[in-house]
Amino acid sequence: MSEKIATREAYGKALVDLGAQNDKVVVLDADLAGATMTKYFKAAHPDRFYDCGIAEANMMNIAAGLSTMGLIPYCSTFAMFGAGRAYEQIRNSIAYPKFNVKICCSHAGVSVGEDGGSHQSVEDIGLMRIIPGMTVIVPADANEARKATFALAEFQGPVYMRLARLATPVFEEDYPFQIGKANVLREGKDAVVFACGLMVNEALEAAKLLAAEGIEITVVNMHTIKPLDAECVLKYAQQCGNVITVEEHSVIGGLGDAVADALMGKVCCKFRKIGINDQFGQSGKAADVLREYGLTADQIAAQIKETL
């Protein structure tokens, strides 16, 4: 895992190739093309790129209208302004009519870093997951972000994809991506960790630290938060007895709650959610901010040990 690439970067580059293959793909941004990385698509396919200016609500509904004409709009801004500011536009004008719009928001979570709490969405997974019929995807690395970007075009219906600003390690192992099908990256008998996004890598590193102490954990990349791979959750919860979720998101409403919902009344196990504990983020270097909120590998390993 030497190379580091941000999922937003992989998304932006994938859009270029997807656009070359599929002329129905159009991309919209709200004056953040240089940050969400839709700038690559803008350069490659300028006639299919729409900069809607700093008007996210309007952008979401324009995307809705474009989709009714048979186009496949990919709509990008920061998670705060997409899932946050334009929540009701997504809810009423995209999800309610089941329009085929792909909402791909970068700069999610506290790893945004220096911009601070106002720009660090720790609620977007919850906001999107609660909408009936919405599909929610959080790629763990650049390879997965690329695969997901292509998969979205083949999938009919509204999707929210959460992308990160921070460049993070690209997994050496290549594995298939299928919406709704979790990937088990490592197996161990003592506990199962369900993680998403940047926390998948941290969980894998935590697993290595724990292995050195003789604790073997299963690590599952839960890239699709909704529809959740409940079968996988139940199987490993039964097998391991200890269940931990890790996400760069509030512990309220995100992956942890989705896993808890799947387990409720089905499996008797120890359960712990690791994430942002009902608070806003703050400015700082991404690595420092992640450490402040207990989301680095060694901190995660310590919390897992505490749970066992």
Residues with catalytic roles: 56
Residue 74 makes contact with another protein by CB under 8 A: no
CA 44/CA 13 separation, integer angstroms: 10
The correct pick among 44, 96, 263, 283 for binding another protein (CB under 8 A) is: 96
Tokens representing 66 are: 């474009």
Residue 65 in contact with another protein, rule: CB under 8 A: yes
- Does 89 bind another protein (CB under 8 A)? Our answer is yes
Contact between 228 and 258 (Cβ < 8 Å): yes
Select from 55-63, 158-166, 272-280, 295-303 the region that touches another protein (CB under 8 A).
55-63
**Binder to another protein among 35, 39, 48, 84 (CB under 8 A)?**
48
Which of 16, 35, 44, 71: binder of another protein (CB under 8 A)?
71
Q: Of 10-18, 43-51, 140-148, 234-242, which segment contacts another protein by CB under 8 A?
A: 43-51
Q: Which two tokens stand for residue 236?
A: 């490993």
Which of 5, 16, 55, 151 is the binder for another protein (CB under 8 A)?
55
200 phi and psi, to 5 degrees?
-65, -45
Q: What's the CA gap between 308 and 71, in Å, rounded?
A: 50
Task: Say whether residue 52 binds another protein (CB under 8 A).
Answer: yes
Binding flag, residue 53, another protein (CB under 8 A): yes
Phi-psi region of 104 (alpha: psi -120 to 50; beta: other; left: phi over 0): beta
Decide if residue 269 touches another protein (CB under 8 A). no
How far, in whole angstroms, is CA 170 from its chain's centroid?
15
For 214, residues 6+ apart whose C-beta sits below 8 A from its C-beta are none
Q: Which two tokens stand for residue 221?
A: 């990349």
Options 88-96, 121-129, 147-155, 253-261: segment touching another protein (CB under 8 A) = 88-96
Count of chain residues binding another protein (CB under 8 A)? 28
Among 36, 38, 61, 183, binds another protein (CB under 8 A): 61
Report the residue number, 66 or 182, with the smaller CB distance to another protein.
66
- Residue 193 · residue 304 · CB < 8 Å: yes
Q: How many residues are recorded in the chain? A: 308
| Cα–Cα distance measured from residue 208 to residue 126, given in angstroms and rounded to the nearest whole number | 30
- The contact set with another protein (CB under 8 A) reads 26, 47-48, 50, 52-53, 55, 57-58, 60-71, 88-89, 92-93, 96-98
